[in-house]
């Protein structure tokens, strides 16, 4: 249907073309059967970088762990209510949150670390499914 409208407008002299994907308010959308995830994956990657910087601050001042919720966690899941977040993406978000703590990179239980350091409401694997139900 989008292609048909674009052709009609083009025939009337209005230069237009249909896009495969678009970012609407920072949430990537597509009119197809597939779910485009590059925008969300980019946010998760940014969260990883913020997590590493936060961990460096936590090593200097342990109170800097509060930056995790406002920085690392907050940037990652934006738009998942409309787009969805796969299990792989949610696990990557959890890793980024855990990476802000002194327990990053070892085999300590991620759920325990996040729950102990920030509370259970910061764990993406717990919070995201509830937010999807709430939307």
How far, in Å, are 18, 71, 96, 102 from residue 55 at the CA level? 44, 12, 10, 7
- Alpha carbon of residue 113 to chain centroid: 20
User: So what's the pLDDT on residue 91?
Assistant: 93
pLDDT band for position 113 (cuts 50, 70, 90):
very high
**Chain Cα centroid distance, residue 41:** 6
Q: Where do the structural domains in the chain lie, given as residue ranges?
A: 38-134
CA-to-CA distance for 100 and 90, rounded, in angstroms? 16
User: What is the tens place of the pLDDT at every residue in 64-110?
Assistant: 888 898 888 888 887 777 677 889 999 999 999 999 988 888 888 99
Model confidence at 7, in pLDDT bands (50, 70, 90)? confident
- Reduced to 3 states (helix: H, G, I; strand: E, B; else coil), residue 51 is helix
CA distance 95 to 105: 9
The crossing angle, in degrees rounded to 10, of helices 110-118 and 87-98 is 60
Span 18-55, pLDDT tens digits: 766 666 655 555 555 566 777 788 889 998 999 999 99
Angle at 27 between CA 43 and CA 22, to 5 degrees: 115
Instruction: Provide the pLDDT for residue 45.
Output: 92
Task: Output 134 or 74, whichever has higher pLDDT.
Answer: 74
Q: Which tokens hold the place of 86?
A: 């796969």
User: Between 130 and 29, where is the model more confident?
Assistant: 130
pTM of the model: 0.72
d(CA 104, CA 102): 6
Helix and strand totals (H; E) in the chain = 8, 2
What is the spatial distance between Cα 3 and Cα 30, in angstroms, rounded to a whole number? 14
Would you state the pLDDT for residue 83? 73
């Amino acid at each position: 249907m989008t292609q048909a409208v674009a052709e009609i407008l083009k025939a009337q002299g209005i230069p237009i073309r249909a896009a495969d994907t678009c970012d609407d308010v920072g949430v990537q959308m597509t009119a197809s059967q597939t779910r485009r995830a590059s925008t969300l994956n980019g946010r998760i990657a940014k969260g990883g970088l913020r997590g590493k910087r936060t961990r460096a601050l936590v090593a200097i001042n342990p109170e800097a762990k509060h930056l995790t919720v406002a920085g690392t966690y907050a940037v990652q899941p934006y738009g998942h209510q409309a787009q969805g977040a796969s299990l792989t993406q949610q696990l990557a978000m959890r890793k980024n949150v855990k990476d802000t703590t002194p327990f990053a990179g070892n085999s300590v239980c991620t759920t325990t670390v996040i729950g102990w350091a920030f509370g259970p409401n910061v764990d993406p694997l717990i919070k995201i499914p509830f937010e999807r139900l709430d939307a």
